[in-house]
Amino acid sequence: MSTIQVNTKLLPLKFPNGKELPYTNPLVMAVVNITPDSFYDGGKFATTEDAIKQAEKLIAEGADILDLGAASTRPGAEFLTPEQELERLLPVLDHIVKEHPDAVISVDTFQSEVAKEAVKHGASIVNDISGGTLDDRMFDVVAKLKVPYILMHIQGDPQTMQVNPQYDDVVAEVYEFLARQSDKARDAGIKQIVVDPGFGFGKTVEHNFTLLRNLKQFCILGPVMAGLSRKSMINKVLKTKPENALAGTISLNTIALLQGANILRVHDVKEARQVILLMNEYLKARS
């Protein structure tokens, strides 16, 4: 029987509490934005109560990982202090850890102080959109925490990334960044690294589709996460808005799986699960 992922020898994600997540099938990471200003669902789950309800809905739909983000990283977003970020994050995190002890929780942050506190409160993964470039303490902190680290590429920072992004060769440059930062992370002592090419983070529509078409190349570096859900690369092509971009998201997630993605980061868990099930049937079929 064929399987979706290109790299069939990946070790499972392992967490300090002994839990493991194998890559038997691609994993689904569910986005929970505890923010007033995220590009798609900003304000929908800004209160603790609403964020908890959404997290529990996504768990029920089969999310493998919950990715809690308390600071918006949309283009032009302003930075929060660690204290501001933790004030939003911890009430939601603490509730999920208490009521859903088997849930695997990722913290979406580029601030090492937030990462450290989140893991103390029960988070199991650090998802850093900056790949260690916006906080020079991040690698050392994550190494001491002994949790998996998601290392994403970004050109610039959230305030500047979409101001005329340019590359001579976007695939080569993103690959070189991820390889270089992965080496630095390993040298610091991080054992488990997932790479993410950073769709929409300092890229034009053309850059994003070029990366998607060449996603298999990044599998050489290890597990690959694809975060395509409802992003502008869909909306600019289809002339739609994020709230109407589910069909486009499903289409691009299908391509990402064919190109070797091991984790899909999504707002819509049920539909991502359906994509994976249908893809498995397609790959089992005889040619």
CA quadruple 124, 125, 126, 128: dihedral, nearest 10? -160
Q: Which of 174, 173, 169 is nearest to 151 (CA)?
A: 174
**Catalytic pick from 116, 230, 265, 273?**
265
User: Is-catalytic flag, 74?
Assistant: no
User: Is-catalytic flag, 265?
Assistant: yes
Residue 153, SS3 per DSSP: coil
Question: What is the C-alpha to C-alpha distance for residues 10 and 250, in angstroms, rounded to an integer?
Answer: 25
State how far Cα 168 lies from the chain centre. Answer: 26
Q: Which of 73, 90, 82 is nearest to 137 (CA)?
A: 82
Q: Which of 31, 3, 15 is nearest to 225 (CA)?
A: 31
SS (H, E, C) 184-213: HHHHHCCCCEEEECCCCCCCCHHHHHHHHH
Provide the pairing of β-strand 20-21 with 225-226: unpaired
**Catalytic pick from 231, 239, 284, 286?**
231
Q: Which residues are catalytic?
A: 231, 265
